[in-house]
Structure 1
Amino acid sequence: MVVDITAELDAVDMAPADTMTEIMQNVKTILTTPKGTVPLFREFGLDTTMVDDPLPVAQAKYTAQIIETVQKYEPRAIVTKVIYSGNEKDGVLKAKVRVKIEDGT
């Protein structure tokens, strides 16, 4: 199954109904957690230091980081594409991450 996941905060479901929901929630948590903000687990999340880079550079760095971090912390989801919206003029960069989740998980 292929799903698109955005980096927008939602309520956390402490008892997901199924594995698919759990995986999608885990990826969303990765995307919305800045690295260094989780006590006792400072390496978790995404580095936000590229915010001042030119847009193409920031997108390249962020894409590589998303792929690496999702693979490390939620290996049941495989990132197949990162799609960006927003623009340099407004200083906005929003990521939508397409992941493939095997049906047998």
Structure 2
Amino acid sequence: MMKRYRSDPLAAIHETMEALHDMGAIDKKTMRDFDDACLTPVESMSPDDIRALRERERLSQPVFARYLNVSRNLVSDWERGVKKPGGPALRLLTVIRKKGLEAIT
């Protein structure tokens, strides 16, 4: 997945720092700090947002779950607010929200 930067100058700085990290000139902690400063954060999604996203794509919970590689019960839990998506699932939901389901198929 392509990285999204807060701005073009931060993208250039981050890519330079990645090269320095690959050469061993900076450590992992410094690279994590640059990731935090330069990369666009992923915002959480409310249960209503997730349901609206699924309905916008005209998918049932089982089919939506299949696209995300999670269980139907997990999608149901997200939509009821029992659980919150995180990590890769939240990133996929964000991509679908911005670019549509075609972006991950």
* Alignment TM class, shorter chain as reference: under 0.3
More strand by share: 1
Q: Give the TM-score normalised by structure 2.
A: 0.23
Question: TM-score w.r.t. structure 1 length?
Answer: 0.23
Which entry has the higher C-alpha Rg, 1 or 2? 2
More helix by share: 2
- Higher relative contact order, structure no. (Cα contacts within 8 Å, ≥ 6 residues apart): 1
